[in-house]
Structure formats: structure tokens, C-alpha cells
């Protein structure tokens, strides 16, 4: 089973002293997919990724990357993997080009330099710049470039668009999609739901060191909460709106404006609202944190009902 | 491993030139004064006789100051282990932990490079850097010595530098091991620095206090010959210092192979501690 997956983790445990960072992570990332790994700060995203490269050693569980145990053969895995760390640091005394050439030499010259130049051009990254003079965004571009330059089979990207402006974010997401088209598997962590929604085939949610949900991205989004604010021309019976399955009333101001929380599809609510004259309507996607909290709440309810 | 070695050595250019040239100039300048000093031997001997023995202890046998090897020892080699020892402590403790704490080691070790290869490359770069610093320093002496009345050839001058090199390797490896065992590079450098200074004082004071002689046997300064090496190298001492350097390098490698790579100053104690003293930060 595990050999058909690019990443296979079962019961992965990792503690830092008394702090349990991973509490039994179970994860299967299929070959050739883009897998978004979501979670709030401190959930265990970076710890999981660093275990995959044998930068840190789990205290328990089974882990396979491209069918290989990272602790048994880390060098073979690293040759086939491109990695963008969450906390990206380079030797500040080098230029972008000298640092990339050095990293490429560590790979035994795996990268085709014309490909490096092409990626740099697309990212609008000046290779002659000294790293110490680069902005945070440009350092992130450099990180993305070094992860992609040798056309790896598996990309491990920790917050790949962090610090980038929206245009470059789009370019990076295009590059990731192209890498997948070329056959690579992409495993990336993110806080940003919209980018996950844009490119990920499947999503895993990690919370408090445990994967609480793995789902197709569309399923997750459809299942997720939305906040809907409607401004009516006349007073409406807002309680009637709250009767719709999946809809709950958050606030109502003098019966003209209501704020509702909708879980799942919007169809029933839209049809009900259409019966009244509407001045304005806004929908707001929840932050990931709200989705996590919703999942967390569901889990808690499940546990309580089982007892 | 070689890519990593050349990269690390390249980063040490400043240290090689900075330390090497400064010591070469100091050495050349100091050797040039030998003839003047020897001409005033009688006056200086009277002056030295008035110095307190506690002060004299730190510079070796000052009655030998008017022989080339005694002069070189007092004026240079007696305090070089302390001065260059600071370099060795800083370089050794930062050899891996420096990049680890800055976060750049994370990326390097995500490349197809084993921890052992990284360790050996960095170790070789440290040894080469130390060797080149001493080589440049030696060149400063070697250029000036033939123009003085010192009855020494440049080749004979190599012996005290070899003794110093071996001593610095031990100090560097102790600092490297400390950086692998203690929670931070700064803590390792501080501990290494304190051990260095304590060893220096212990060995120096043991020259005037017999009660300290037994304790001084455990100090590496006791096995550093300095200028006295011109009269003949003590190969068992050289071998002993190298042996302990290898032992600490082995212990550091053993720790590095088994521990987590830290990011941004994260870290815990590598030495056994009671559980109530253990505290590690949470991270994602």
C-alpha cells in the first residue's frame, strides 16, 4: 500500500521534551497529486515536513517517502526531493547565483542551468544580486527556484507563497502546477485557503499534531462555512432564514440587515432570500482557523456523543 | 563532501587573512627586535629579577629569554594558545551550530549530502583554515629570521607552529562537541572559553605552586610546547593532543548523527539532565 504513495505516514509521533508536536500523524499522499497541508501555527506542519527529510527524527510511527524510509536512506530521498523550508535562510555573504550554483553542486549538478535562468526570469529574480540586499519576497523567490530547479519527483513546500506579491504568487502556483503536469508530486503547507483551493487536489488538515481530516479540496470547500450578510429593503422574518438546514443566525440589525452562517451549499438560502427585495448581499469565506474550529467542534461533539 | 569543504573554506578567507596577516606582522616585528634585546641582556636580566614570580609564571621560563627559543616563547608562543584559542573556540562552536541556528543548515541538509559528509567537510575546512592561519603567521617569522642573529632556520621554526596547530585542533574539537551537546552555540562558546582560560591559568600557576601540578596534568596547556618545541618536538604530547582532538570530534559526530537539526535557536540539552530541568519550546 505504502509503495504506491509518494508519502506514507502512520502513527507518526514526535516530541520536543514534554511538548508533543506530532500525536500520531496518519497521511497518504498519492503519486502525482498536489496535496495541501493545512493547519494553524504550531499544529505540526513543519515538524511533519522536516521528518520527511530526516532533518528531525520521529519518536515513533512509520514513515516512507517515495517508498524509502528517510532514516535508513536520507540521501537517496533528498536527491529526488525539492524542499522549500518555512524558515528560509541563505548564506548572506553570497550572490543569488553563487548560492544557487553551490546548492546545485551539492546535488551533483542535477539542475540544467538554462532551466534555472528560465525560472529566474519568470520570477523576475536578479541572479547577480547579493543575498544580503534581497527583500524577503526575493529571498522567497530564490527558495522556490532552488526547490524547483532540478525538476524533483517530489516537492515539499512549506508556505511557498509566503511574502510574495499577488502576481508572483500566481506565477509560483503556475510553476507548481507545471511541475505536477511533468509528473511530480507536490506536498505543500499553507495558511491561505484560496491558493489551496486553486491548485490542490486534496487537502489534509492537521490540528494539535494529528491529521483530523483528509478530503478532496472541493469537498472541503463546499462543506466549509460561509458568513453571509444580507441587507433587505424591508423588514424580514430573519428567524425563518435560520430555520433552513445548515443556516444559523449570527446578528440582526433592526430586521433590515442580517448576518448568517451557512454550512455547506448556499442553494436553499438563496432561494429563500429571493422572496424578499434585497439591497445588497455579501458572502465571506471563513478563515482557515474558523474551518479548523468547526472541525474541532464537530470532533468534540462526536466524542461527547460517543460517551 | 568536497563541495561542502571548498564552500566552508571559502567562507574562512577572512579569518585566514585577518588572523594570519596580523600574526605574521606581529611575529616579524617581534623577531626584528631580538638583536636589540640581546644587546641589552644584562640590563634586562636585572629588570626581570625584580618582577614577581606570579607574573613570570605566565610567560614561561624568562631566564631563557635571551636564547632564540626562549625569546620566541616569551614574546609570542606563550600567549598564542589563549589568543588563537579564542579563534578555535568560536570557529569550532560555530562549525555546524552557527549555520544551524541561523537556519541555513536546514536547506543544506535537504540536499543529497549525508550528515557525516557535511561533518567531515566542515571539519576538514576548520583544520585547513587553522593550518593556513599558522602558515601565514610562520611566513612572517620566516621572512625576518634570516636577517637577525637568531641561530634558527625557517624550517626549525615550524616545530612550535606544529605544537600550536595540534593544540588548536583539540580546543576546536572540544568547542564543536560542546556545540552539539549544549542548547546553543553561544552557550558552547562561553563554556569553551571558560575552560580555555581556566586551563591557561591552571598550567601557568602550577609553575609556581606545586599543589596545582597534579590538576594541571589534566590541562591541554600542559602538553603544549610553544617555543620550546624548537629544541625538539615531544611527539607523545603531539600524539596525545591529536588523540583527544579525535575523541572529541568523534563524540561531536556521534551527537550530530543522532540529534534533530534545530531551526532558529531551538534546542535542548544533549547531556542527561533530571526531567525537571528539561524544557524545550514548542514549534509547528
ipTM of the complex: 0.79
Stretch 54-83 of chain A: residues touching chain B, C-beta under 8 Å: 55-57, 74-76, 78-79, 81, 83
B104–A90 CB contact, under 8 Å = yes
**Grid cell in block for residue B260:** 534533530
**CB neighbours (10 Å) of residue A133?**
11
Q: What is the pLDDT at residue B58?
A: 66
- What percent of chain B clears pLDDT 70, i.e. is strictly above it? 88
Q: Is the pLDDT of residue A139 over 90?
A: yes
Interface touch B112/A106, C-beta < 8 Å: yes
CB contact under 8 A, A43 and B284: yes
Percent of chain A at pLDDT > 70 equals 91
Contact A230, A258 (CB under 8 A): yes
pLDDT average, residue stretch A158-175: 91
| Chain B residue with the nearest C-alpha to that of A146 | B107
The total of other beta-carbon atoms located within 10 Å of residue A127's CB is: 17
Predicted local confidence at residue B264, as pLDDT: 57
Mean pLDDT of A163-190: 93
Average pLDDT over residues A96-120: 94
Domain A225-284: CATH architecture, name and number where available = 2-Layer Sandwich (3.30)
Q: What is the pLDDT of residue A2?
A: 47
Tell whether the model's pLDDT for residue B279 goes beyond 70: no
Residue B24, judged by CB atoms within 10 A of its CB (0-12, 13-18, 19+), counts as buried
B/e letters for B249-273, b = 16+ CB within 10 Å, e = fewer, are bebbbebbeebbbbbeebbbebeee
A88 touches chain B (CB under 8 A): yes
Residues in chain B with CB shorter than 8 Å from the CB of A143 are: 107
Average pLDDT over residues B175-179: 96
Instruction: Pull the grid cell for residue B132.
Output: 593556513
E strands present in chain A: 5-16, 19-30, 34-38, 60-65, 81-84, 154-158, 185-190, 202-207, 210-216, 225-232, 247-253, 257-263, 278-284
Mean pLDDT within A81-102? 92
Q: How far is CA B151 from CA B39, B45, B69, B146, B229, in A?
A: 15, 21, 10, 9, 15
| Distance of alpha carbon A185 from alpha carbon A52, whole angstroms | 14
Q: Is A98 on the interface with B (CB under 8 A)?
A: no
Whether B201 and B275 have beta carbons less than 8 Å apart is answered as no
Per cent of chain A over pLDDT 90 is 55
What pLDDT shows up at residue B265? 45
**Cβ-based contacts of A111 with chain B (< 8 Å):** none
Between the alpha carbon of residue B167 and those of residues A201, B219, B226, B229, B238, the distances in Å are 59, 11, 10, 13, 8
Q: Which of B111, B257, B263 to mutate to test the interface with A (most CBs of A within 10 A)?
A: B111
Smallest CA–CA separation between B21 and chain A, in Å?
22
Does the domain at A2-221 match CATH 3.40.710.10? Answer given as no
DSSP for B70-95 reads: HHHIIIIITTHHHHHHHHHHHHHHHT
CB contact at 8 A, A37 and A48: yes
- Give mean pLDDT, residues A92-102: 94
Distance of CA A199 to the CA centre of its chain: 10
Q: CA of B109 to nearest chain A CA: how many angstroms apart?
A: 7
B52, with CB counted inside 10 A (0-12, 13-18, 19+), is exposed
Task: Write down the pLDDT at residue B272.
Answer: 46
* Cβ neighbours, 10 Å, residue A297: 10
Cβ atoms B166, B55 nearer than 8 A: no
Per-range mean pLDDT, top range of B6-10, B248-252, B275-279: B248-252
Residues in a beta bridge with A130: A95
Q: How far apart are CA B280 and CA B62, in angstroms?
A: 52
> Tens of pLDDT along A32-68?
999 999 887 888 999 999 999 999 999 999 999 999 9
Average pLDDT over residues A88-105: 93
Other beta carbons within 10 Å of A193: 21
Mean pLDDT over the full length of chain A = 88
Out of A43, A78, A108, whose CB is closest to B110? A78
Question: Lowest-pLDDT range, A112-126, A149-163, A276-290?
Answer: A276-290
Note whether A193 and A285 are within 8 A (CB).
yes
pLDDT confidence tier of residue B70, bands split at 50, 70 and 90: confident
Instruction: Show which of residues 166-195 on chain A sit within 8 Å of chain B, judged by CB atoms.
Output: none
Chain B residues with CB under 8 Å of a chain A CB are 3-4, 7, 11, 102-104, 106-114, 258, 260-261, 263-264, 266, 268, 278-284
Are B107 and A88 within 8 A, CB to CB? Answer: yes
Nearest to B15 by CA among B168, B162, B167, B154: B168
| pLDDT given for residue B274 in this prediction | 52
Does residue A295 register a pLDDT over 80?
Answer: no
pLDDT of residue B223: 92
- Count the residues in chain A: 307
Range from B60-64, B92-96, B260-264 carrying the lowest mean pLDDT: B60-64
CA of residue B122 relative to chain centroid, distance: 16
Whether A16 has its CB under 8 Å from any CB of chain B: the answer is yes
Do domains A2-221 and A225-284 share one topology? The answer is: no
**CB distance B279–A18 less than 8 Å?**
yes
Q: Give the number of C-alpha atoms closer than 13 A to the C-alpha of residue A291, restricted to the C-beta side.
A: 26
pLDDT classification of A1: cutoffs 50, 70, 90: very low
Q: What are the residues whose beta carbons fall under 8 Å from the beta carbon of B174, sequence distance 6 or more? A: B92, B192, B195, B248
Backbone angles phi, psi at A54, to 5 degrees: 60, 30
Residue A139 in 3-state DSSP?
A: helix
Nearest to A55 among B102, B110, B114 (CB): B110
Domain definitions of chain A by residue range: 2-221, 225-284
Q: How many residues does chain B have?
A: 284
Where residue A268 falls among pLDDT bands split at 50, 70, 90? confident
* pLDDT at A256 (0 to 100): 86
B129 pLDDT band, cuts 50/70/90, is: very high
Min Cα separation A46/chain B (Å): 5
The answer to whether B110 contacts A53, with C-beta atoms less than 8 Å apart, is: yes
Q: Determine contact: A17 vs chain B, CB below 8 A.
A: yes
Higher pLDDT, A40 or A148: A148
Amino acid at each position: 500500500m505504502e509503495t504506491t504513495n509518494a508519502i506514507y505516514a502512520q502513527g507518526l509521533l514526535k516530541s520536543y521534551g514534554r511538548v508533543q508536536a506530532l500525536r500520531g500523524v496518519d497521511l497518504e499522499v498519492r503519486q502525482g497529486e498536489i496535496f495541501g497541508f493545512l493547519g494553524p501555527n504550531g499544529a505540526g506542519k513543519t515538524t511533519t515536513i522536516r521528518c520527511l527529510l530526516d532533518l528531525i527524527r520521529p519518536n515513533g510511527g512509520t514513515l516512507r517517502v517515495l517508498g524509502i524510509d528517510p532514516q535508513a536512506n536520507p540521501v537517496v530521498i533528498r536527491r529526488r526531493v525539492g524542499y522549500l523550508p518555512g524558515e528560509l535562510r541563505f548564506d548572506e555573504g553570497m550572490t543569488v547565483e553563487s548560492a544557487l550554483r553551490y546548492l546545485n553542486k551539492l546535488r551533483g549538478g542535477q539542475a540544467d542551468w538554462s532551466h534555472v535562468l528560465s525560472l529566474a526570469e519568470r520570477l523576475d529574480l536578479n541572479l547577480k544580486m547579493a543575498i544580503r540586499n534581497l527583500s524577503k519576497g526575493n529571498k522567497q523567490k530564490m527558495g522556490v527556484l532552488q526547490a524547483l530547479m532540478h525538476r524533483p519527483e517530489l516537492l515539499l513546500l512549506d508556505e511557498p507563497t509566503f511574502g510574495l506579491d499577488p502576481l508572483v504568487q500566481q506565477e509560483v502556483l503556475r510553476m507548481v502546477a507545471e511541475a505536477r503536469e511533468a509528473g511530480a508530486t507536490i506536498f505543500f503547507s499553507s495558511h491561505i485557503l484560496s491558493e489551496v483551493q486553486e491548485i490542490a487536489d486534496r487537502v489534509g488538515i492537521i490540528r494539535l499534531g494529528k491529521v483530523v481530516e483528509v478530503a478532496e479540496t472541493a469537498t472541503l470547500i463546499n462543506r466549509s462555512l460561509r458568513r453571509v450578510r444580507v441587507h433587505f429593503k424591508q423588514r424580514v422574518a430573519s428567524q425563518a432564514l435560520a430555520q433552513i438546514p445548515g443556516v444559523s443566525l449570527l446578528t440582526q440589525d433592526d430586521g433590515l440587515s442580517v448576518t448568517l452562517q451557512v454550512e455547506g451549499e448556499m442553494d436553499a438560502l438563496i432561494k429563500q432570500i429571493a422572496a424578499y427585495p434585497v439591497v445588497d448581499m455579501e458572502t465571506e469565506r471563513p478563515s482557515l482557523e474558523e474551518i479548523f474550529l468547526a472541525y474541532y467542534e464537530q470532533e468534540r461533539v462526536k466524542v461527547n456523543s460517543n460517551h | 563532501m568536497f563541495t561542502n569543504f571548498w564552500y566552508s573554506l571559502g567562507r574562512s578567507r577572512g579569518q585566514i587573512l585577518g588572523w594570519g596577516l596580523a600574526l605574521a606582522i606581529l611575529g616579524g616585528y617581534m623577531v626584528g627586535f631580538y638583536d636589540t634585546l640581546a644587546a641589552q641582556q644584562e640590563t634586562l636580566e636585572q629588570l626581570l629579577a625584580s618582577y614577581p614570580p606570579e607574573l613570570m609564571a605566565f610567560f614561561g621560563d624568562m631566564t631563557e629569554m635571551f636564547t632564540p627559543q626562549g625569546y620566541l616563547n616569551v614574546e609570542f608562543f606563550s600567549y598564542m594558545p589563549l589568543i588563537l584559542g579564542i579563534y578555535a573556540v568560536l570557529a569550532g562552536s560555530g562549525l555546524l551550530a552557527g549555520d544551524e541556528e541561523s537556519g541555513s543548515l536546514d536547506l543544506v541538509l535537504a540536499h543529497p549530502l549525508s550528515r557525516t559528509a557535511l561533518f567531515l567537510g566542515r571539519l576538514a575546512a576548520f583544520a585547513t583554515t587553522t593550518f593556513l592561519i599558522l602558515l601565514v603567521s610562520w611566513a612572517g617569522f620566516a621572512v625576518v629570521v634570516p636577517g637577525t642573529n637568531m641561530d634558527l632556520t625557517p624550517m626549525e621554526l615550524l616545530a612550535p607552529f606544529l605544537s600550536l596547530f595540534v593544540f588548536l585542533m583539540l580546543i576546536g574539537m572540544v568547542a564543536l562537541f560542546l556545540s552539539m551537546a549544549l542548547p546553543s552555540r553561544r552557550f558552547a562558546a562561553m563554556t569553551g572559553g571558560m575552560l580555555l582560560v581556566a586551563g591557561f591559568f591552571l598550567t601557568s600557576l602550577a609553575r609556581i605552586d606545586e599543589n596545582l601540578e597534579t590538576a594541571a596534568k589534566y590541562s591541554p596547556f600542559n602538553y603544549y610546547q610553544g617555543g620550546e618545541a624548537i629544541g625538539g618536538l615531544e611527539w607523545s604530547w603531539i600524539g596525545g593532543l591529536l588523540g583527544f582532538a579525535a575523541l572529541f570530534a568523534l563524540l561531536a559526530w556521534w551527537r550530530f548523527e543522532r540529534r534533530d537539526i534545530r531551526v532558529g535557536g531551538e534546542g535542548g540539552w544533549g547531556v542527561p539532565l533530571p526531567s525537571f530541568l528539561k524544557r524545550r519550546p514548542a514549534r509547528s
